[in-house]
């Protein structure tokens, strides 16, 4: 289940995903998203990449809970959590700027996806939450991306308040969101304006600037798999299994 596609308009590659379960990201959609991102990065007709979701009130509810419930071995767990590791790493290695259009709430891996993007537009109702600790897990896989964006103190607050939603104002104050609009229509107007500016920048200058922004993240190739293993081990604990099975 779920869909994902890309459309090119005015040198912007718009990637749109949808899943009936709160726009979650199962393995199939993540793999297709990575493929579309890498193809868009090589496409000379595309100057900037935009990621958005549709068909629901949420931007992204993170991992597919049904798949999470099926994990019974450490290798299955590592494979499951490596999906988000691979997505974050794929975005990190792109040469073109990636923009997020956040139309509603995001949880867990959805917050990780937002954090990996270079510039984020959000509407007022775009709240965020890292619920992992309340499940007996921890946001280890997405931590590097989230901490890079909002800093360690804000990440600590967000990860500890695992049962609380942080509103869009909090997310902007901490640096996760760049612009907040009162509603989706206004947000789309702002996106169109900014995209026209972004695509006008010289390709090589934009590439070099993005490399500068992501400086100091080369070690993520080793870090993210380690964090995926930690999360997989926690997912198999009695505490986590009891909660996950009840979802």
Which CATH number characterizes residue 189's domain? 3.90.226.10
Strands (E), 80-123: 98-102, 106-107, 119-123
Structural domain total, the chain:
1
Tell whether 62 is covered by a domain: yes
How far, in Å, CA of 100 to CA of 194, rounded?
A: 12
With a cut of 70, list the residues of the chain below it in pLDDT: none
Which pLDDT score is estimated for 56?
75
Tell whether 126 is covered by a domain: yes
Which pLDDT score is estimated for 53?
98
Tell whether 217 is covered by a domain: no
Tell whether 229 is covered by a domain: no
How far, in Å, CA of 108 to CA of 231, rounded?
A: 13
Residue pointed to by tokens 């390709």 = 203
- Six token digits for residue 116: 């990996």
Tell whether 212 is covered by a domain: no
pTM exceeds 0.95, yes or no: yes
Tell whether 213 is covered by a domain: no
How far, in Å, CA of 145 to CA of 154, rounded?
A: 13
Tell whether 225 is covered by a domain: no
How far, in Å, CA of 89 to CA of 226, rounded?
A: 13
Tell whether 141 is covered by a domain: yes
Which pLDDT score is estimated for 82?
98
Which pLDDT score is estimated for 190?
98
- Return the SS3 of 49: strand
Which pLDDT score is estimated for 1?
78
Task: Of 141, 139, 145, give the one whose Cα is nearest residue 157.
Answer: 139
Q: What range defines the domain where residue 67 resides?
A: 3-198
Q: How far apart are the first and last CA of the chain?
A: 19
Q: Is the dihedral of CA 245, 57, 29, 39 positive or negative?
A: negative
């Amino acid at each position: 289940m779920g869909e994902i596609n890309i459309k090119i308009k005015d040198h912007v590659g718009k990637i749109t995903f949808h899943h009936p379960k709160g726009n979650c990201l199962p393995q199939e959609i993540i793999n297709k998203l990575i493929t579309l991102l890498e193809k868009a990065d090589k496409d000379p007709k595309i100057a900037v990449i935009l990621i958005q979701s549709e068909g629901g009130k949420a931007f992204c509810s993170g991992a597919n809970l049904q798949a999470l419930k099926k994990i019974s071995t450490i290798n299955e767990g590592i494979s499951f959590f490596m999906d988000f590791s691979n997505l974050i790493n794929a975005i990190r290695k792109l040469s073109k700027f990636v923009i997020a259009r956040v139309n509603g709430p995001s949880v867990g891996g959805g917050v990780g996806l937002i954090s990996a993007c270079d510039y984020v537009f959000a509407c007022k109702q775009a709240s965020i939450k890292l619920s992992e600790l309340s499940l007996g897990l921890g946001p280890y896989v997405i931590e590097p991306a989230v901490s890079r964006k909002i800093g360690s103190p804000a990440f600590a607050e967000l990860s500890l308040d695992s049962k609380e939603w942080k509103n869009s104002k909090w997310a902007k104050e901490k640096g996760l969101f760049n612009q907040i609009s009162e509603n989706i229509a206004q947000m789309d107007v702002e996106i169109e304006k900014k995209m026209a500016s972004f695509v006008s920048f010289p390709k090589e200058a934009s590439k070099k600037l993005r490399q500068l922004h992501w400086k100091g993240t080369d070690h993520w190739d080793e870090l993210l798999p380690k964090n995926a293993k930690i999360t997989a081990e926690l997912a198999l604990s009695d505490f986590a299994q009891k909660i996950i099975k009840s979802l």
